Structure 1
């Protein structure tokens, strides 16, 4: 059985109303691609999200298209008992495969490099190399601005690209579909318990176990932009380590004046403020959190998952 056909059978067997939803999408996509606005009167957002989540619908030029129209039609045909068993046994693998598809070779390479960059926090020679290299670009900025303002500029830059990376690399529709599926399972499980339907409850519990693959896919969707954010941000942090002279045997490479923080007052850059957390880290995160909120509001970027 083709993979798309298996996925369609799985959707239809889990929710009979999905048969009508799939037929509607088939009809609307005959002329080419289909968009949510074309079907939102006939499909729920949860049904639309499930079709995207399972890979029945894939990205097109302007909307979505069927991954395999013939296999989708075949999946709507009445299935035999053997086909039902095959569908049940393959659903978990299909979920995990969908989650794996979003990571490219470049994502994995960035992840490997990021792990290597972490060594700079504890290994001074690597920190010095990265710090002196970054100083070629950031040194002139410090020549015209005081260091506290340089940190503000860095916080603004990291907040900007972090927001853009999350908005472009994290598939919020897929995230919403994962959450919608779990919500649907929980609602049907509650209804089955209220009705005392042990057979339905057992089937839902099995589906819940298979949905663990969705949790893996959801984690990968969340972590993918974080790899690139750390890939770009760790060198910035290592330059601040190098410039301020953080770590045993290190010395400052820039002229530093005391920093004035809310509530804490005037403090040295390496003075501990919140437990072991030093003043410069507190200042960076205060700036970063403030700028990030302003950027998201200004660009109207919503990071809340949506199944629509």
Structure 2
């Protein structure tokens, strides 16, 4: 039934109490009920009203709550606007700074193919990382850069990702799936039609989730791409020291920096990713940072 009609119905204290009893005895709307299951707590008028208003619908040998997820939220006192389609979640928007960062990140990304951009970035990076590269072996330089990029990537993702709004999107999609599965099980064609309309109205959720998740990635790429370009310039451009030929790794043994180690991935890239992932895990645990919706 329409959300406003259900809200109006639940303003009647008698019906609200009846529905709470039905919800509890149906184990959260997952089991069917018959009149004899609730006659000790409900009047025949209350039971009839729930059926007449299609809060309860025929299912097999008994009756089931038509949309248990929605009923649960309304009984729990949640804002009805959260069930009214996409208007319940404010669409995320990027700031001017976010858009500028995204445009500049795309320009830097072109450096993987454009030699001019790559050389400019490499010259700037060399001025910053050159002193470090001159003091320690190249494999330790990669470790240092992996820790630095891992740290700011974790911090940026933790600070810029709106986990609450992302969880709202995911919860709404999960709820739609559960209600659709329940309606199919009951064979309720009318409920399926309503749910199809809701799915169409919530189609923007996918775009909203993408914008939420990609926003921190833009700022992360803005700082990470130059590091990749500099490392690529060092390895593939022949700018390593005489003794910096490669690395000794388990199983593979001695390998050069440009040798393919995992599929097409070269040794320097695999070494960077391994160090970066380890650094991110350690940083998350030490500083108690969250980068996703789970706690």
Same fold (TM over 0.5): yes
The 5-angstrom pairing of residues 170-181 of structure 1 reads 170-181=161-172
The structure 1 segments of at least 4 consecutive aligned residues displaced by more than 4 Å after TM superposition are 46-51
Does 2:233 correspond to 1:242?
yes
Does 2:95 correspond to 1:104?
yes
The 5-angstrom pairing of residues 107-186 of structure 1 reads 107-186=98-177
Aligned length: 232
Say whether the 8 Å CA contact 2:259–2:266 is kept in structure 1.
yes
- Return closer, same or farther for 1:194/1:120 CA change in 2, 3 Å cut-off: same
Say whether the 8 Å CA contact 1:98–1:217 is kept in structure 2.
no
Say whether the 8 Å CA contact 2:92–2:212 is kept in structure 1.
no
Q: Residue deviations 1:159-196, cap 9 Å, x none?
A: 11111111111111111111111111122222222333
- Return closer, same or farther for 1:220/1:16 CA change in 2, 3 Å cut-off: same
Say whether the 8 Å CA contact 1:242–1:253 is kept in structure 2.
no
Q: Distance in 2 between matches of 1:13 and 1:236?
A: 54
Q: Who wins on radius of gyration, i.e. which is larger?
A: 2
Say whether the 8 Å CA contact 1:99–1:221 is kept in structure 2.
no
2:278 match: 290
Q: CA deviation at 1:215?
A: 1.3
SS at match of 2:116: helix
Q: CA deviation at 1:257?
A: 3.6
Gaps of 5+ in 1: 1-9, 21-41, 55-86
1:264 match: 252
Q: CA deviation at 1:15?
A: 6.6
Does 2:200 correspond to 1:209?
yes
SS at match of 1:99: coil
Q: CA deviation at 1:47?
A: 7.6
Does 2:239 correspond to 1:252?
yes
- Return closer, same or farther for 1:48/1:217 CA change in 2, 3 Å cut-off: farther
- Return closer, same or farther for 1:114/1:48 CA change in 2, 3 Å cut-off: farther
Q: Residue deviations 1:87-122, cap 9 Å, x none?
A: 8xxx55x47x83342x11111111111111112111
CA-based RMSD of the aligned residues comes to 3.0
Gaps of 5+ in 2: 12-71
